[in-house]
Structure 1
């Protein structure tokens, strides 16, 4: 293969991938009415501060991606003492790890909706997770993502505290086209 042929092939591949990404609709969180709820034995509450990029189109799943984070400082159990303990250096250690991050690797169709497979990063640990979700369109340019998944807190070095190992997470995220 000549250098010119190689350059044309690389340019074509790059242009194709850029076009595929552009095909997915860009979404942004509609307002502060979204809910990320967590529940485990001994603690439950919400977390806010959702930021990032969401590109999703049910007709263009290969081009769909999620790269989002939440601010652990917004964690609210409804109990200020529990909030303080959760943010301290022996649990979430928000001084060093203020964000929980998720970056998808792929989005696929399922019988009941979709899944997003990617890396969930809490503190200094990144682990693969599969997040099942649905997307409900709500008129022109709006919709709601809903999902439910669980994680084992000990997998992310969240070992101290008298709470259950498995944390259930519920997501209800209203969005609008960016």
Structure 2
């Protein structure tokens, strides 16, 4: 066997192991939350229904991807008035725009971490968004934490009197803690 044949044989054996990122199933205990402000007071909320297709390998970011769809009507904050207002035409307008969608366009190393670049479609508007990514592998399972800040008015969320940022803050922190099982 020649060196060239041996090298090609090894390359074909190694290539499938490095070609793609690991596919994960998001477990039910995962969370997708947000933090906003109303009249200067901070409030937390969450989306109780979302789907995420996650392929991730910190050693092969080029093969990694996120595709997340959020059911906007599942937003809850623990405040009855706010919870009834969020799906209305004044905010998410879930009758016209029932879902938000985020899909990655690429990943980049940033300092000691990773940033996921992508497109977020919310309220019929698509804008670029960057997520700070923290991936924690485990024995078989893993966790994935992401965080970003979205300006709600960039997406047309909050119309009429609700455009007033002195009452409802423009910046909304979004975070997720995903518990992952390999497929």
TM-score, normalisation: structure 2: 0.80
Is 2:157 aligned against 1:158?
Answer: yes
Distance in 2, matches of 1:101 and 1:21, equals 29
Gap change, CA 1:116 and 1:130, over 3 Å in 2: same
Count of matched residue pairs: 158
Instruction: Map residues 1-178 of structure 1 onto 2, 5 A cutoff.
Output: 23-31=20-28, 33-42=29-38, 43-140=43-140, 142-160=141-159, 161=162, 162-178=167-183
Give the unaligned 5+ runs of structure 2: 1-15
| Greater Cα radius of gyration, structure 1 or 2 | 2
Moved over 4 A (4+): 19-22
Contact 2:26 2:52 (8 Å CA) reproduced: no
Q: CA deviation at 1:22?
A: 6.0
- Whichever structure has more strand as a proportion of its residues is 2
Q: CA deviation at 1:21?
A: 9.9
Gap change, CA 1:165 and 1:139, over 3 Å in 2: same
Contact 1:21 1:64 (8 Å CA) reproduced: no
Q: CA deviation at 1:138?
A: 1.9
2:76 is paired with a residue whose SS is coil
Give the unaligned 5+ runs of structure 1: 1-18
RMSD: 1.8
Contact 1:38 1:46 (8 Å CA) reproduced: yes
